[in-house]
Amino acid sequence: MSTTTLKPAPAAPAPVRTVQGEGRIGLRANLRHIGALARRNMLQIKKDPESMFDVLLMPIVFTLLFVYVFGGSIGGSLGGDRQDYLNYLVPGLMAMMGMNIASAVGSGVNDDFNKGVMDRFRTMPIARSSVLIAKIVVELGRMMVATVILLGMGFALGMELGTSVAGMLGAVALAMVFGAAIMWIFVLLGLTMKTPQAVQGVGFLVLMPLQFGSSIFAPTQTMPGWLQAFTDYNPLSNLADAVRGLMMGGPVADSVWMTLAWAAGITAVTAPLAVRKFRRKT
């Protein structure tokens, strides 16, 4: 009598859960998802109002610090006084706002991944890009608040608008467009770095040379030749010059087109990379 040993059949691999119809989400549904996620992010700010301190205080602190510490000497180099430096500085600070606020996007995205929030979003039938776009929409709102406070501070100190209200609004719109492009860089950093502290550290190393190696705080004519060559290609110099021209007068066409070209190029490269990284991040 022979016996047959029965071996248990290998277990079938567990089915991988996928989101059906991700690629068939229409524009209207996508906009609805972005709106819902943006509302979720704004509710987070409402629960943690301290997260708005940078937006509320940074424009005031930077304006007072640079005007009253450096305004006398730099204003004299401009052929005027502290008042002339105020008119020079505020448009430059508008160009800086987007860079500083953009770093918060990367830290927020990284923190959401560490808390598992993003894993939940990736199991939902929503476009992957809507999660990231909602983050940027809310940060643009924060940037708008900072810009309004900055302009209010400038006018309170005696800033004089050299063109028109339409020119000022155009300057604000240009700064917002460029700020949105920079935010995609920090979203990508947030998806790549392991901790929010790492995102902030890398962001600081990127921000400082770009901001101070530009025409934001002072004219570039007195800088060394090699640094002037860097400022010529620095997109923040183009943005600061464009905003300054739109608000105070002067040639703006070249600076505006260069700023828009930088914004389009940065977005075209980093936005698809960020969405792809979001899909594959574990």
| pLDDT tens digits, 50-91 | 878 888 898 999 999 999 988 888 877 777 788 889 999 999
4 is a domain residue: no
Residue 2's pLDDT is 45
Give the pLDDT band of residue 152 (cuts 50, 70, 90): very high
121 is a domain residue: yes
**Selection from 81, 217, 86, 218 nearest residue 159 by Cα:** 86
* Boundaries of domain holding 51: 27-280
Residue 110's pLDDT is 82
158 is a domain residue: yes
Q: What's the CA gap between 240 and 223, in Å, rounded?
A: 17
Model confidence at 282: pLDDT above 70: no
The tally of domains found in the chain comes to 1
Residue 49's pLDDT is 80
Other beta carbons less than 10 A from residue 49's beta carbon: 9
CB-based burial of residue 18 (10 Å sphere; 0-12 exposed, 13-18 middle, 19+ buried)?
exposed
Give the pLDDT band of residue 46 (cuts 50, 70, 90): confident
CB-based burial of residue 40 (10 Å sphere; 0-12 exposed, 13-18 middle, 19+ buried)?
middle
159 is a domain residue: yes
Length of the chain: 282
Percent of the chain with pLDDT over 90: 32
59 is a domain residue: yes
Please state the rounded mean pLDDT for residues 221-230. Answer: 86
139 is a domain residue: yes
Residue 149's pLDDT is 94
**Average per-residue pLDDT for the chain:** 83
198/123: higher pLDDT: 198
Give the pLDDT band of residue 236 (cuts 50, 70, 90): very high
Model confidence at 5: pLDDT above 60: no
**Selection from 230, 226, 258, 264 nearest residue 245 by Cα:** 258
163 is a domain residue: yes
Q: What's the CA gap between 147 and 192, in Å, rounded?
A: 29
Residue 33's pLDDT is 79
7 is a domain residue: no
Query: 23: which DSSP letter?
Result: G
